Structure 1
């Protein structure tokens, strides 16, 4: 019974893969600023029932980002935190109201294209000036596509922070967003209790990955960090576009 609670009935081989993925995902995000959440989401999408993917990913990311926030707490850029919190609360509330009514494939393609645009051109002035707008829009989207970390990272990139400040601020933003999302899914009726043991294991392994990734972050210089960050954002954006296109392709009825 205890074993079933720990691996949520998936079996130990699958649980082990998820634990390793959580460690590596947190290592990537702590070391390079972004990417680990998308890695974790991709693995979960392969191994979990569809209805559990976004809620479980959200709670795992709460733990992962909270641990990273604690380790980098001295480097948080606090000026933009409270507006982001307010915007996120509004976005999650609206997303929860429409969570079954919008096409996730179209949202993924739009999000991927927007990230590529912010990398190739100067981001919109409204986005650069307002963390509240970023919080609202990204939190609305996260109810459908799960991982909007790249979008938030694209915004934080416009603030001109150091690499450590970037990681710290991104961690707090994502903790806020995923916590609100988790509460929303709980209110919508998702049974987190079945997954509690496995989620605990994934959070613990993620924290160990964050500790390992912090050593990478402290050894990489600013120029290389920005290059790696832009590369990861580009790859994640392309993956979002591809996933959205595949979703739309299979959703289109055959004539």
Structure 2
């Protein structure tokens, strides 16, 4: 953590770093405890604090570490048959998204992320996302290159498998690990300088793994309804501020 503070990348303050650290822990706790929501929360907070050009790549690496850790802790509960079609679609979706994403101006990234998170709160994903894993992987992976947090789309597919709660969380984490891993690979090939953000990324991943570990032990001890409603309100407020910043910036 100290190394990260002494080598913060341009555009990130020490206060912003500590806020991101706290929300990395909270977002991972939320995701493993509730199955969904943490990635969108972290994205919305990061979009208010991280330079737009670095937002999606850095969020992708942090989410890769968080989801990989969650999948590793619950690896025995991963549903293997859910992976092949999704992986194939994800490869195509990330490749196509990488061709287009470099053309987006920073303000459009802010507005797009804010609008997408609000959409994920109020809208129900199309039913076809649950029927065709290759199409779910393709569409969600294409969108994640621009908007980052597409866990809601992937969760709709995971839900259609009718898995027990632990298996649902584990399988969703494995699918998101694949998606974020491919996204990070594409951004690396496009030339994003991950090394400048490495100390911050490592710190956020460690905080996320701590949240995953604690959230795992509370997985069967929480009531979901009230907490999810509060999370939705928070997501909408942060996203509205983000859209305003994009419009006025």
Q: What TM-score, normalized to structure 1?
A: 0.81
Report how many aligned residue pairs link the two structures.
243
1:157 aligns with 2:159: yes
Q: Distance in 1 between matches of 2:195 and 2:246?
A: 33
Structure 1: unaligned runs, 5 residues or longer: none
Residue 150 of structure 1 deviates from its aligned partner by: 1.4
Residue deviations 1:121-169 (CA, integer Å, cap 9, x gap): xx53x42221111000000000111111112112212221111111101
Aligned partner of 1:130 in structure 2 is 132
1:8 aligns with 2:9: yes
Q: Which stretch has the larger CA shift, 136-145 or 44-53? A: 44-53
CA contact (8 A) 2:129 2:156 kept: no
Residue 194 of structure 1 deviates from its aligned partner by: 0.3
Q: Distance in 2 between matches of 1:241 and 1:25?
A: 16
| 1:118 aligned to which of 99, 124, 138 | 124
RMSD: 3.1
Given the superposition, is the C-alpha separation of residues 93 and 144 from structure 1 closer, same or farther in structure 2, using an over 3 Å criterion? same
Q: Distance in 1 between matches of 2:80 and 2:230?
A: 25
Residue 237 of structure 1 deviates from its aligned partner by: 8.6
CA contact (8 A) 2:93 2:140 kept: yes
| 1:194 aligned to which of 196, 202, 223 | 196
| 1:178 aligned to which of 177, 180, 187 | 180
| 2:33 aligned to which of 19, 31, 34 | 31
Residue 107 of structure 1 deviates from its aligned partner by: 8.3
Q: Distance in 2 between matches of 1:240 and 1:136?
A: 28
| 1:146 aligned to which of 124, 138, 148 | 148
